């Protein structure tokens, strides 16, 4: 696996590596990747498309989109930030939601390789806001 890279990737650089685009690109910055781990950030703003219906008077980021952000971060674990990582596909996710994510919060996503079987990887991920765990997941990524 490549050494750890700590030069943050911008949204433009992320889009060169992932096939996702607005409104489904769920990470804004990748701050670290390599050596079997990746850390990404999602700044959650009131302008997010999903807050119009989830929920208008009590906006909460949908848990499934937190899981998607974890999966996108996991692609950087699977391929170590290589250009592109789009061939990484989510095969399975066991997601546990712990606390709501609200507008104005910054979601920090950390993903680490647990085990690798050829092109299939088991990944452990954690999502935090201000050092409080809001979700955990075990993902299977292949590709």
Q: Is 54 a catalytic residue?
A: yes
Q: Which is catalytic among the residues 20, 54, 78, 79?
A: 54
| Cis status of the peptide bond prior to 70, with omega within 30 of 0 | no
Query: Cα torsion for 39, 95, 140, 107, to the nearest 10°?
Result: -10
Spatial separation of the C-alpha atoms in residues 24 and 114, rounded to whole Å: 26
Phi and psi of 41, rounded to 5°?
-130, 140
Is the Cβ–Cβ distance between 53 and 21 less than 8 Å?
Answer: no
Is the Cβ–Cβ distance between 137 and 125 less than 8 Å?
Answer: yes
Spatial separation of the C-alpha atoms in residues 31 and 45, rounded to whole Å: 19
Residues catalogued as catalytic: 54
């Amino acid at each position: 696996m490549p050494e750890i890279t700590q030069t943050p990737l911008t949204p433009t650089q992320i889009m060169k590596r992932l096939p996702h685009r607005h409104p489904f690109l769920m990470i804004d910055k990748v701050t670290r990747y390599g050596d079997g781990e990746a850390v990404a950030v999602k700044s959650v703003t009131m302008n997010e498309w999903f807050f119009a219906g989830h929920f208008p008077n009590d906006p909460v980021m949908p848990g499934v989109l937190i899981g998607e952000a974890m999966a996108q971060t996991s692609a950087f674990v699977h391929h170590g930030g290589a250009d592109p990582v789009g061939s990484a596909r989510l095969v399975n996710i066991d997601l546990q939601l712990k606390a709501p994510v609200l507008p104005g919060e910054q979601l920090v996503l950390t993903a680490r390789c647990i085990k690798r079987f050829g092109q299939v990887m088991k990944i452990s991920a954690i999502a935090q806001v201000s050092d409080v765990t809001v979700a955990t997941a075990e993902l299977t990524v292949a590709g």
